[in-house]
Amino acid sequence: MNVTKRMKSLGLFVLVVAVSVATNLTTNLVSHKNENFNGQDNSLPAGYAKFSKVSSAIETDFTVAAELSIHAVVHVKTKTPQKIQQFGGGGFPNDPFFQYFFGQPQQPRQQEIPMQEASGSGVIISKDGYIVTNNHVVDQSAEIEVTLNDKRTFKAKVIGTDPNTDIALIKVEAENLPIITFGNSDSLKVGEWVLAVGNPFNLTSTVTAGIVSAKARNINIINSQMKIEAFIQTDAAVNPGNSGGALVNTRGELVGINTAIASQTGSYAGYSFAVPVSIVQKVVADIRKFGVVQRAVLGVEIKDITNELAKDKNLKTLEGAYVGKVSDNSAAKKAGIKEGDVITDINGVEVKSVAELQEQVGRYRPGDKITVRIIRDSKEQKLSIELRNRQGSTGLVSSQTSEEVLGGTYKEVSDKLKQQFGLDYGVEVKSLTKGKLADQGIKPGFIIIKINNQPIRSTEDIQIAYDTAVNNGQQDKVLLIAGLYPNGKIIYYAINLAE
């Protein structure tokens, strides 16, 4: 993939309006009365007096922030091997399942093609070499090279990734590296100046400036079932190669990791988006401590409140997250949240949208206790909730779930299909995200009947089979999947979880 395609982009039309501010004129207007031609007193409102005290912000000097951050932003270069396999003879896949049942097939002929090269940016967060970047920058990379601002280069390894937030943690072996101080993304205000620091188009150590255009923006670019999108939107120029770079405030503090742009062409067209540092800190802390992100969930299906929804459900507010469904054995169910409730506050922090709710809950771990304010029948209630993980327990998880690794959602097999094929059990693949099922070539509609010779009757059976394979103590952690498609074609797949 060409380097210019590494930064994720959105197909959006963007209208940018330039506004010019005359500093001296504004100051004069604030400090003196302005009388119009008919003699009326047109003194500016009292609020402008406050503005006069901060009017110097218009003349902000960005050099300090740039100097404090530029040395801690690195250039990340990756190489990903691509192989095309051509099978001789019968053409059976070279996987353990077919070898077990049909014997050893002819060895595939592998045709090597040149390494796929790409690049992005990263932010040094510890003197001993921990670096934050985007997951899509290092995803599936075989080699990672990091170049510092002083031109030193290091080989890096992936410590952990979180596709749900598009954040990854990598590390180089070095000491006394320059770092960026973490700031507070919660305190960012719309209209506040920020700087984007990164390596667009392989142009190293590039700094651009803009303002915060919006917060908690959900733009639907993360392809994950437990995604958290609450981006900081800015108009700082960001281009392919900026992915994983720093968004800093005027004090040079890290407030976000630049991740995406809104563009029709793949290049900057007005707006860019960054993961707030409040999310980044939680993800990085979990990866370093547990090896995997500890994701807490309420166990509800939620949606933003529109005018249409408010009228349909007779809601008195347009702010908050509407609860469309409450999952069984969930934290929300146990706490008493019901379908039709509107969640407006998490631990004292107002949430006005689904994105803001996801951002707040995403800061906690399974077992954490929080308070949730809801509106039910036009009356406010406050509930105490002990958060749980996706499996419905309060324990910390030591590995990723089957859904995260395999990338599938499932549903019960219809009675019609059961009758048609004489099935007593089975689970149908409803949809696929990026994961090992899609990588293996499995398509939606495939009915999983057995995994490692164990009958599959529910999604829980898939998780049990996955956990058993992951924790079996063997080097080869393989899922042997047997099933069929609705056209009656029986297929067998072998998925190596160790790869």
Q: What's the pLDDT tens digit per position in 67-79?
A: 999 999 999 999 9
Give catalytic status of residue 327 as yes or no.
no
pLDDT for position 429: 93
Q: How confident is the model at residue 377 (pLDDT cuts 50, 70, 90)?
A: very high
Looking at 335, 351, 386, the residue that finishes a domain is 386
* Cα gap 450→491, rounded to integer Å: 11
For residue 97, is pLDDT > 90? no
Contact status, residue 390 vs residue 405, Cβ threshold 8 Å: no
Q: How confident is the model at residue 107 (pLDDT cuts 50, 70, 90)?
A: low
* Cα gap 330→328, rounded to integer Å: 5
| Closest residue by Cα to residue 7 from 248, 268, 219 | 268
42 vs 302, higher pLDDT: 302
- Selecting among 119, 141, 224, 243, the annotated active-site residue is 243
The verdict on residue 397 lying in a domain is no
pLDDT for position 270: 83
* 345 and 279 in a common domain: no
| Candidate from 81-95, 239-253, 268-282, 470-484 with smallest mean pLDDT | 81-95
Contact status, residue 249 vs residue 15, Cβ threshold 8 Å: no
The verdict on residue 128 lying in a domain is yes
The verdict on residue 138 lying in a domain is yes
Give the angle subtended at the CA of 245 by the CAs of 242 and 251, to the nearest 5°. 125
Q: Quote the domain boundaries for residue 473.
A: 402-496
Q: Determine the average pLDDT of the residues in 152-166.
A: 94
* Cα gap 343→180, rounded to integer Å: 35
- Say whether 271 sits in a helix, a strand or coil: strand
Q: Measure the CA dihedral 469/474/475/476, to 10°.
A: -50
pLDDT for position 109: 52
For residue 11, is pLDDT > 50? no
In whole numbers, what is the pLDDT of the chain averaged over residues?
A: 82
pLDDT for position 83: 52
- Say whether 372 sits in a helix, a strand or coil: strand
- Selecting among 166, 235, 286, 345, the annotated active-site residue is 166
For residue 461, is pLDDT > 90? no
* Cα gap 83→94, rounded to integer Å: 14
pLDDT for position 18: 26
Q: DSSP code of 182?
A: B
* 63 and 154 in a common domain: yes
| Candidate from 103-117, 297-311, 377-391, 436-450 with smallest mean pLDDT | 103-117
Q: What is the pLDDT of residues 332-364, one digit of tens each?
A: 999 999 999 999 999 999 999 999 999 999 999
* Cα gap 369→364, rounded to integer Å: 9
The verdict on residue 99 lying in a domain is yes
* 409 and 368 in a common domain: no
Give catalytic status of residue 136 as yes or no.
yes
Give catalytic status of residue 32 as yes or no.
no
Tokens standing for residue 152:
């030193």
* 435 and 350 in a common domain: no
* 362 and 466 in a common domain: no
pLDDT for position 35: 37
Task: Give me the number of domains the chain comprises.
Answer: 3
pLDDT for position 207: 96
